[in-house]
């Protein structure tokens, strides 16, 4: 007698086993190795390395700029997704394809282009410099690069949700006397919010991990425009493995907490679906 | 009058969906817009609501021309075919939505919502989300939400289309009861003639964007304005016939056609109820074989086959069926009590002619 319950879909054992091995090897193993290596450090050493003022400045920049960039993308990416999903206009196909560009472009190319564009003599940099705004080699530049790489995540998450949105809901609100703004606020926005949060989380995750496009435009001045991943590389080049590890663990922990928070928010915002 | 349309037309990209439609719905009336799919009836409803703008013509609600009045200001209640409930709001918030927009005070709002929950038998479901409700419950929430701000007219688009047959029957009874309690002018779209007959005071029949006939259910059944209405409301046998010597012939069937010239082609129709039938093959004028008898509940639908192969549909009660001693595949005879002539140009047909 077989001990397992009959399942009409075959292959559960095989696929589940494969999934666990895959996740174990690709995700859990490297993370575990990282944590194990930091055990070589005494808590005091770890704390000293992890809270070094230069490291603290880099965390602030990485997480601050990433949150800001993801926020900007959540707002304008939603707008872009709305336009692409709702309207038919000449050149729509081109705009739609361009959105994917930051996905495909090698990050070094993006970084080089942005640095050139926003440099003091660059096309955009010149104009901005006259207005007293410096982008390249400042935290603002870091944010610009992170916004660039995060955009497709928000747009591509929201587009299908907006396309699937029932227009009758808007008409129903109108027949009940609601104007456009009220309809958007009370009917459309709550429906889109979970997807906006998902897009925000993806853009944020990408921004925290971004390296290539940032280092060109950031100028990498310690305490000012030096991102945490770059500081890890610098530590490694100094053969300071312990220092690099400590930074990595802090990045890992904060990223993990941020993603869990967003996940909970997402769950709360879609509570009406369950 | 509550709703009036005057020569209203609507084109979508050069294609006419509604052509010169005029009608009135009186205060407190319950009226059905009936017609096959794609006949333009939903478009008419949406134009009254202000969700579409007419290409030509005028629409009045309570005597006021509303062509240039936005949806928001028309004070109509609209129930969508797929309910269109706000998924992120509870039942309570869905119903209160219109009241909030109209800035009703908290107390009045709560009272009104409680009243509607009671009226539509939704008590206990206040805090559910739409996806946690059954189809019938969703439909009732949609009706409650539309009625909450006390609209001057209630418009429903295929209100019973998306639920199963039993719930549909329940909802029909709801609508009739609700209407007699609230007396709000109600216009609903349906493609189901039985539904229209059962629920509405008057029926407006549409086909291909044109108004074919408007009248009480009894009238459109007994005096259809044309062949389309006759065939759409109820069942009808329709035959093409040719006149010879004052008699119109369709197969073995013969109908008096005095004064019609020879060679004239006439379309003739008669209801299945107008067929009188006997188990005695010689009792009536036409012999036939009873091919099939379908049991429909109270009535039986019979399919008669004449020697030439011509098929005639008849309906009798199941008591009559037993009394007459009919059986499938047995020879019978029948006669036709009344028939009507449809003119070629679809103008109003002559009154029914009795055959003696």
Determine the pLDDT at residue B355: 64
Residues B171 and B81 sit within 8 Å (Cβ to Cβ): no
Residue of A nearest to B51 (CA): A171
Separation between Cα atoms, residue A158 and residue A202, nearest integer Å: 12
State the nearest Cα–Cα gap between A9 and chain B, in angstroms.
Answer: 28
Confidence bin at B349 (pLDDT 50/70/90): low
Residues above pLDDT 70, as percent of chain B: 96
A172-176, B152-156, B260-264 — which is least confidently predicted? B260-264
Contact state of B51 with A175 under an 8 Å Cβ cutoff: yes
Parts of chain A with a pLDDT under 50: 1
Separation between Cα atoms, residue B160 and residue B163, nearest integer Å: 6
Determine the pLDDT at residue B137: 92
Confidence bin at B351 (pLDDT 50/70/90): low
Tokens at residue B182, please? 């609230």
**Per-residue pLDDT tens over the stretch A207-243:** 998 988 888 888 888 888 899 999 999 999 999 888 8
Separation between Cα atoms, residue B184 and residue B2, nearest integer Å: 10
CATH number of B271-354: 2.40.50.100
Separation between Cα atoms, residue B260 and residue A239, nearest integer Å: 113
**Helix (H), strand (E) at residue A177:** none
**Per-residue pLDDT tens over the stretch B180-191:** 888 899 999 999
Flag whether pLDDT at B266 surpasses 90.
no
Determine the pLDDT at residue B301: 92
Tokens at residue B221, please? 């059944």
Residue of B nearest to A271 (CA): B88
Is A272 in CB contact (< 8 Å) with chain B?
yes
**Per-residue pLDDT tens over the stretch B35-70:** 998 888 999 999 999 999 999 999 999 989 999 999
Q: CA dist A57 to A52, A222, A225, A228, B263, Å?
A: 9, 8, 9, 8, 102
* Among candidate residues B37, B31, B65, the one with its CA nearest the CA of residue B155: B31
* Span(s) in chain B for CATH 3.40.50.300: 3-232
Check: complex ipTM more than 0.90: no
Residues B225 and B249 sit within 8 Å (Cβ to Cβ): no
Determine the pLDDT at residue B350: 60
Determine the pLDDT at residue A242: 86
Q: What region, left, alpha or beta, does residue B347 occupy, with left being phi > 0 and alpha being psi -120 to 50 degrees?
A: beta
Interface with A, mutate which of B70, B72, B76, B161 (most A CBs under 10 A):
B72
Determine the pLDDT at residue A3: 53
**Helix (H), strand (E) at residue A62:** helix A53-86
**Angle of the A241-269 helix axis to the A29-38 helix axis, nearest 10:** 130
Mean per-residue pLDDT of chain B: 89
Interface with B, mutate which of A175, A192, A273 (most B CBs under 10 A):
A175
Flag whether pLDDT at B336 surpasses 50.
yes
Nearest by CB to A178, which of B49, B51, B101? B101
Determine the pLDDT at residue B346: 47
Is A164 in CB contact (< 8 Å) with chain B?
no
Determine the pLDDT at residue A132: 82
Which chain B residues have a beta carbon less than 8 Å from that of A187? 86, 88
Chain B residues within 8 Å of chain A (Cβ atoms): 49-51, 71-78, 80, 82, 84-90, 97-98, 101-102, 129, 131, 145-146, 149
Tokens at residue B164, please? 């199963």
Determine the pLDDT at residue A1: 47
| 3-state SS, residue A204 | helix
Residue of B nearest to A170 (CA): B84
For tokens 């930091």, the residue is: A38
> Mean of the pLDDT values across residues B88-99?
95
Q: Which structural domains are found in chain A, ordered by start?
A: 40-273 (1.10.3720.10)
Contact state of A273 with B72 under an 8 Å Cβ cutoff: no
* Total residues belonging to chain B: 356
Flag whether pLDDT at B100 surpasses 90.
yes
* Among candidate residues B211, B190, B187, the one with its CA nearest the CA of residue B201: B187
Contact state of A176 with B97 under an 8 Å Cβ cutoff: yes
Which chain A residues have a beta carbon less than 8 Å from that of B98? 176-177
Residue of A nearest to B89 (CA): A272
> Mean of the pLDDT values across residues B220-241?
88
Determine the pLDDT at residue B348: 52
CB pairs under 8 A between A and B: 70
Which chain B residues have a beta carbon less than 8 Å from that of A165? none
Q: Within the 184-223 window of chain A, which residues sit less than 8 Å (CB to CB) from chain B?
A: 186-187, 190-191
Flag whether pLDDT at B275 surpasses 50.
yes
CATH topology of domain B3-232: Rossmann fold (3.40.50)
Is A268 in CB contact (< 8 Å) with chain B?
no
Contact state of A169 with B84 under an 8 Å Cβ cutoff: yes
Residue of B nearest to A273 (CA): B131
Contact state of B80 with A171 under an 8 Å Cβ cutoff: yes
pTM: 0.80
Separation between Cα atoms, residue B42 and residue B202, nearest integer Å: 17
Separation between Cα atoms, residue B39 and residue B59, nearest integer Å: 19
């Amino acid at each position: 007698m077989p001990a397992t319950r009959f399942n009409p879909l075959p292959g559960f054992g095989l696929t589940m086993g494969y999934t666990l091995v895959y996740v174990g090897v690709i995700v859990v193993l490297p993370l575990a190795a990282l944590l194990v290596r930091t055990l070589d450090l005494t808590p005091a050493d770890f704390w000293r390395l992890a809270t070094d003022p230069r490291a603290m400045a880099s965390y602030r920049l990485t997480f601050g700029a990433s949150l800001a960039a993801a926020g900007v993308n959540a707002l304008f990416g939603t707008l872009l997704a709305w336009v692409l999903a709702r309207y038919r206009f000449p050149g729509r196909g081109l705009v739609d394809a361009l959105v994917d560009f930051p996905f495909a472009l090698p990050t070094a190319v993006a970084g080089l282009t942005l640095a050139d564009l926003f440099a003091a003599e660059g096309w955009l940099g010149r104009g901005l410099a006259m207005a007293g705004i410096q982008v390249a080699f400042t935290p603002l530049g870091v944010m610009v690069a992170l916004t660039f790489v995060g955009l497709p995540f928000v747009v591509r998450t929201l587009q299908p949700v907006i396309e699937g949105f029932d227009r009758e809901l808007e008409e129903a609100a109108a027949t009940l006397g609601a104007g456009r703004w009220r309809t958007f606020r009370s009917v459309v926005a709550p429906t889109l919010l979970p997807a906006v949060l998902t897009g925000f989380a993806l853009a944020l995750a990408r921004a925290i991990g971004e390296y290539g496009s940032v280092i060109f435009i950031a100028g990498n001045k310690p305490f000012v425009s030096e991102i945490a991943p770059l500081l890890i590389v610098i530590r490694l080049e100094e053969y300071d493995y312990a220092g690099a590890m400590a930074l990595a663990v802090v990045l890992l922990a904060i990223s993990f907490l941020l993603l869990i928070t967003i996940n909970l928010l997402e769950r709360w915002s879609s509570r009406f679906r369950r | 009058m509550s709703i009036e349309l005057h020569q209203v037309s609507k084109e979508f990209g050069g294609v006419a969906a509604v052509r010169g439609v005029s009608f009135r719905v009186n205060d407190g009336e319950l009226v059905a817009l009936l017609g096959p799919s794609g006949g333009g009836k939903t478009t008419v409803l949406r134009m009254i609501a202000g969700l579409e703008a007419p290409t030509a013509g005028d629409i009045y609600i309570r005597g006021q021309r509303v062509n240039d009045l936005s949806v928001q200001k028309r004070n109509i209640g609209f129930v969508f075919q797929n309910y269109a409930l706000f998924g992120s709001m509870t039942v309570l918030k869905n119903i209160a939505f219109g009241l909030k927009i109209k800035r009703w005070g908290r107390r009045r709002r709560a009272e009104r919502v409680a009243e509607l929950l009671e009226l539509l038998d939704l008590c206990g479901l206040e805090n559910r989300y739409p996806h946690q409700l059954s189809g019938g419950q969703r439909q009732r929430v949609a009706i409650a939400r539309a009625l909450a701000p006390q609209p001057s007219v209630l418009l429903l688009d295929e209100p019973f289309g998306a639920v199963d047959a039993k719930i549909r029957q329940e909802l029909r009874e709801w609508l009739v009861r609700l209407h007699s309690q609230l007396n709000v002018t109600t216009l609903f779209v349906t493609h189901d003639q039985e539904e229209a007959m059962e629920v509405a005071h008057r029926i407006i029949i549409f086909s291909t964007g044109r108004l074919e006939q408007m009248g009480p259910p009894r009238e459109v059944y007994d005096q259809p304005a044309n062949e389309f209405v006759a065939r759409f409301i109820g069942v009808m046998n329709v035959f093409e016939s040719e006149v010879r010597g004052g008699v119109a012939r369709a197969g073995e069937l013969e109908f008096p056609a005095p004064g019609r010239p020879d060679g004239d082609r006439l379309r003739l129709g008669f209801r299945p109820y107008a067929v009188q039938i006997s188990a005695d093959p010689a009792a009536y004028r036409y012999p036939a074989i009873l091919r099939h008898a379908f049991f429909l509940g109270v009535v039986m639908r019979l399919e008669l086959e004449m020697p030439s192969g011509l098929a005639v549909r008849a309906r009798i009660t199941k008591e009559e069926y037993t009394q007459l001693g009919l059986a499938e595949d047995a020879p019978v005879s029948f006669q036709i009590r009344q028939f009507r002539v449809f003119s070629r140009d679809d103008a109003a047909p002559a009154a029914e002619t009795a055959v003696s």
